Structure 1
Amino acid sequence: MPLQTSPDSPAPLRDVVNGVRGWVERLGRVWIEAQVVELKAYRAMTFLTLRDPLADVSVTATVDNVVLNRNGPVQPASQVVAELRPYLHTRAADLRFECSDLRPSGEGRLLARLEQLRQRLQAEGLFGVDRKRALPFLPRAIGLITAAGSAAERDVVENSRRRWPSAVFVTRNVPVQGSGAAAEVIAAVQHLDRRAEVEVIIIARGGGSLEDLLPFSDEGLLRAVAAARTPVVSAIGHETDTPLLDHAADLRASTPTDAARQVLPDAREEAARLEQVRARLHRAIDTMISTERRHLDQLRSRPALADPLYGFELRHDQVAALRQRARRAIDQRLRHDATELEHQLARVRAMSPKATLERGYAIIADARGATVSSVGQATVGEELSVRLRDGELAVQVRGSEERR
C-alpha cells in the first residue's frame, strides 16, 4: 500500500527508506546479461562495474573472489551473465547489488575456455621460454603458411624481399578460417618441418574476430608447433590479437609485416654495418702500424742502432780498464810473492849446512858417509872425512877422549 502523506502529516524518513528497501528486496535474485567494465579486487572481494551492452546503464556489484574465478578468470570488456540480488543500504539509502554467480557468455565464454586451455598448456610447460628456439640469422629458405592470394602472404613476401631481395620462400596455401583450418595448418607445419632447406616457418593471416582466429588457438596446432624442430613464427592478426599460437611459437610477430622484419636482416643495414666494421678495422690497422712505426723509430734512435760500433767502443773501454786492473793485480801479486820468496830463502839459507860451515864449523863423516857427531862413534885408526867451507880433508883417528 502506498504511504499516505501530506505537509501536515509527513512520514518519517526511516519509514520511506524501509519501504523502498522492501520494494527492492521483493525483486529477489535475478539473472542479468552485461559487459564487465571494471574490476577492483580486494583481499576477499571484488567490486564489479557492469554495463548494459545496448543502453547507458551501469551498476556496481560485489562478488566473492571464489565466485569470480569459479568459471575461469573474468577480464574487462568480457560478456557475462550474473545472478544479482539488489538491496538498499539504509544508512545512505544507497542501492547496491550482490553477485552470487558469474558466468562468461558469448565471446566471454569463448575467452574463458581459451584461458583455461592456456593455463593447462602452460602448466605442462608447452609455453616455456626454455623451449623457444633461436631464429637463424639468414635462413636458406622460409616456409610460409597462409591463405592463397591473401594480404598476409603479400605483406610477408614483399616486405621480406625489400629487406633481402634473394629471400627464398616455400609456401603452403591453406584455409585460415573455419572448422577444417586447424587440421590444414597442422599438416602444413609438419610438411615444412620435414623440408631440410626450410630453416624457419611463418604462420600468417590478417586480422579478424575472435571466432575467425579460433583455428590458431587449436590445441592440436599448438602441440604440433611445439614439437616441430624448425623455429616457428606466429604472425596472426594485428597487435591486439593474441591467439594461443603466439605462446607456443618460438617468436611472436605483431603483424605479417613485422614477421618479415623479424625473420630476415635488412640488406642495406647489413651493408652499412659491414662498412662500419671495415672502417673500424682500417682504423685499427692504421693505429697498429703507427704504433709499431713509432716503436721502430725509438729503437732506431738508440745509440746501439744509430752507431753499430758504439757497443764495440763501449766494450773496448771496459776491456782496457779490466786489462789495467788485471796488470796491477798481477804486479802486486808478483811483488808479494817475490818478497815472500826472499823471506823463505833467507830462512832456508840460515838453516843450511853451508852457512854453518862458513861460520867455521865442519862436518865429519865415516867411510860409509854417515855423520859422526860423537867421539864414541869413532875408533882409533879409522879414516874419516872432514867437510870444511872450501873443501874436504881425509884424516885418521889417533886417539879419542870423551867428555862427560
Structure 2
Amino acid sequence: MQGYGYENQNTAYGYGMAPHGNGNELALQRQSPAGAPKPLDQLPRLARDTTAENPWPVSVLSQKYHDAVERWPASWVEGQIVEINMRRSTSGFITLRDNEQDISMSVMGYSRFVAMAREFRQGERVVIHGKPNVWPKQTRLSFVADDIRRVGAGDLKAQIDELRKKLKGEGLFDAENKIPLPEFPKCIGLICAPQARAEGDVITNVNLRWPAVDFVIEHVHVQGAQCPPEVVQAIRKLDDDPRVDVIIVARGGGSFEDLIGFSDEAVVRATAACRKPIVSAVGHEDDWTLIDLAADLRASTPTDAAKKVVPDVHEQWQLVTNAWQRMNLRMESMVSNEQRLIEGYANRPSLTHPHTMLDPYQRTVDDAVLRMRQGLIRIVDDASMTVEKLHASLTALSPQATLNRGYAVVQTANGRVLDDPVDVRQGDQLTITLREGALLANAIGPADNAPDTD
C-alpha cells in the first residue's frame, strides 16, 4: 500500500511506542487515561516510512486500505450465483463464482439492489455492477453492488436441470414409488460427515423425542469428488443391513457447489432404488438437490429430519393417556347405560308385581268363562223347555195316561195287545196291565153280557 498517504488530519490514535532498555527492545504501552492520544502528525505518512519503532496501528492501516479501495473505479463483473440471501429488505448478500475457475467473491447490496436481486436464484449466471469496498472494522474486502442483470442459466444449474428432466421422465421421482416411513422405527441408518454438526443434531433430537432407537452411522465425504461414490456405497450398505428401518442422509448448509454431490446421477439412482425409506436432510430450507426429489421424504434440516422420522414420546404418552381416558369414559358410559336399563327393568310392574302380567289374561279367561256359563245356561234352558214340551207331548200320548184314567191293557201270552175277544180261546193266559202294576188271568170265554161301549 505504499504511495497512499493518510490525509485525514483530524483523526488521532491512542497508541504509542516507547524505548525500553538499550533501544534494542521495545515495549508497546497503552496511554493512560490522563495522557493524550498520539496525534496523526507523529505517525508515518506513507507505508514506506513505517518502522518497527514507529508502526501504524491496525485502525490506521485498515482505514488506509479503505481509502485506497474507495478510489478504485466501479466495474461490471460476471459470474455464477452459488449462494444468495435476500431475506431482508434493507440489505442482501450474494456469493459470486467465476465461470471457469474455483474463485469466489462476496457481493453485498442495499435496498435498491435487494429489490432487483430477489428474483434471482442459485446457479444463474449474472453480471453485477458495483464498486469494491473495505469494511474498516474487520478490514474485509467486498463488492458493493447497485445493479444486477441475468446473462443466462449457469452451467451447473443447466446440467442439473437437464438431469432432473431425464430422471423424472424415467419415473424416479413419481409419488407412487415413495415408501412410507415406519411409525416406530427401532434402528436408524445415518449417512453424514464424520464429527459433523448434522450428526449431532440428528442423534440429539432423535434421543430427545424417542430414546428407544439405535443408530447405524456411515461416515462419508459430503462434498467434493469423493462424495457421490461414498454416499452411493453407504446407501446400499444400509439398505442391505437388516437392522435398519429407515435411512437419513444428512448434511448441513453450504453453497450451491458444496451440495452439488447430492445431485449426482448415481446418488439419485441409488436413492430411488433403495428398498428402505430414505429421508434427505441436505442443506437448509432454501437449498435444493436432486436427492430431495428421489428421497421418500425431504426434510428442511437435519433437525427437521429427526422430528419427522421418530414420534415424540411425550405426544405418544399423551395420545395413550387420551385414548385411555376416552376408553374409560366409554366403558363408564356403557356400564351406566346398562345399569339404568337394568334398573328400568327392575322397576317395571311386571317384575315388582308379576301378577299384573296375568291380569289381562285373567280378565280374558273370566270373560270367556262368563260367556261360556251364560251360553250353557241358555243351551240348558232351551233344552229343558224342549224336554218339557216333549215330556208333555209324550205324556199326552203315553198309554199310561189312559191307564191312569182307569183303563187296562190286555195282552196275550206272546205280548200282542188283545183288541178282539174272538182272538182268545178258553184257557189262554192273558196279561192285564193296570195303572198300578199288572195281573195274570186265564180266559174262560167271551162275556155275553158285556156292556156296550157305544
Q: TM-score, normalised by structure 2?
A: 0.56
Q: Which amino acid aligns with 2:384?
A: E
**Structure possessing the higher radius of gyration over alpha carbons:** 2
The structure-2 alpha-carbon separation of the partners of 1:372 and 1:252, relative to structure 1 and needing over 3 Å to count, comes to farther
Correspondence 1:311 to 2:311? no
Partner of 2:384: 342
Correspondence 1:229 to 2:275? yes
Correspondence 1:269 to 2:315? yes
Which of 284, 287, 292 does residue 238 from structure 1 map onto?
284
Partner of 2:211: 165
CA distance in 1, matches of 2:180, 2:207: 22
Partner of 1:116: 162
CA distance in 2, matches of 1:332, 1:240: 105
| Aligned length, in residue pairs | 307
> How far off its partner does 1:299 sit?
4.2
CA distance in 2, matches of 1:302, 1:353: 67
CA distance in 2, matches of 1:55, 1:186: 37
CA distance in 1, matches of 2:252, 2:350: 80
Partner of 1:197: 243
Partner of 1:39: none
Q: Which amino acid aligns with 1:263?
A: V
> How far off its partner does 1:322 sit?
5.8
> How far off its partner does 1:367 sit?
6.8
CA distance in 2, matches of 1:355, 1:190: 132
Any conservation in 1 of the 2:193–2:199 contact (CA below 8 Å)?
Answer: yes
C-alpha deviations, 1:316-339, integer Å up to 9, x for none? Answer: 766775675455345423422322
The structure-2 alpha-carbon separation of the partners of 1:341 and 1:133, relative to structure 1 and needing over 3 Å to count, comes to same
C-alpha deviations, 1:171-200, integer Å up to 9, x for none? Answer: 011112222321111111111111112100
After TM superposition, the structure 1 = structure 2 runs for residues 69-80 of structure 1, keeping only pairs within 5 Å, are 79=124
The structure-2 alpha-carbon separation of the partners of 1:153 and 1:316, relative to structure 1 and needing over 3 Å to count, comes to closer
3-state SS of 2:188 partner: strand
> How far off its partner does 1:262 sit?
0.7
C-alpha deviations, 1:302-349, integer Å up to 9, x for none? Answer: 4455xx4x223x367667756754553454234223223223324543
Q: Which amino acid aligns with 1:196?
A: P
The structure-2 alpha-carbon separation of the partners of 1:302 and 1:262, relative to structure 1 and needing over 3 Å to count, comes to same
Q: Which amino acid aligns with 2:275?
A: R
Correspondence 1:207 to 2:224? no
CA distance in 2, matches of 1:298, 1:224: 69
The structure-2 alpha-carbon separation of the partners of 1:141 and 1:223, relative to structure 1 and needing over 3 Å to count, comes to same
> How far off its partner does 1:260 sit?
0.6
CA distance in 1, matches of 2:347, 2:108: 96
CA distance in 2, matches of 1:241, 1:387: 151
The structure-2 alpha-carbon separation of the partners of 1:344 and 1:370, relative to structure 1 and needing over 3 Å to count, comes to farther
The structure-2 alpha-carbon separation of the partners of 1:35 and 1:219, relative to structure 1 and needing over 3 Å to count, comes to closer
Which of 139, 142, 149 does residue 185 from structure 2 map onto?
139
After TM superposition, the structure 1 = structure 2 runs for residues 312-327 of structure 1, keeping only pairs within 5 Å, are 312=355, 314=356, 325=367
Any conservation in 2 of the 1:354–1:389 contact (CA below 8 Å)?
Answer: no
> How far off its partner does 1:263 sit?
0.6
C-alpha deviations, 1:208-264, integer Å up to 9, x for none? Answer: 222322221122222222221110000111111111100110000111111111111
